[in-house]
Amino acid sequence: MAGNYFSPFSLRISEELLEKIKFIASNNKRSANKEIEFILENAVKDYEKQNGEISIPND
Question: Residue 27 falls within a domain, yes or no?
Answer: yes
pLDDT in tens, 5-15: 788 989 999 99
- Asked whether residue 22 is assigned to any structural domain, the reply reads yes
Number of domains in the chain: 1
pLDDT tens profile 24-54: 999 999 999 999 999 999 999 999 999 999 9
Domain presence at residue 20: yes
Task: Indicate whether 44 belongs to any domain.
Answer: yes
Kindly give, in sequence order, each residue whose CB lies less than 8 Å from that of residue 8, ignoring residues fewer than 6 positions away.
none
Q: What is the distance between the alpha carbons of residues 46 and 35, in angstroms, rounded to a whole number?
A: 17
Task: Give the global pTM.
Answer: 0.81
Cβ neighbors of 50 (< 8 A, separation 6 or more) are none
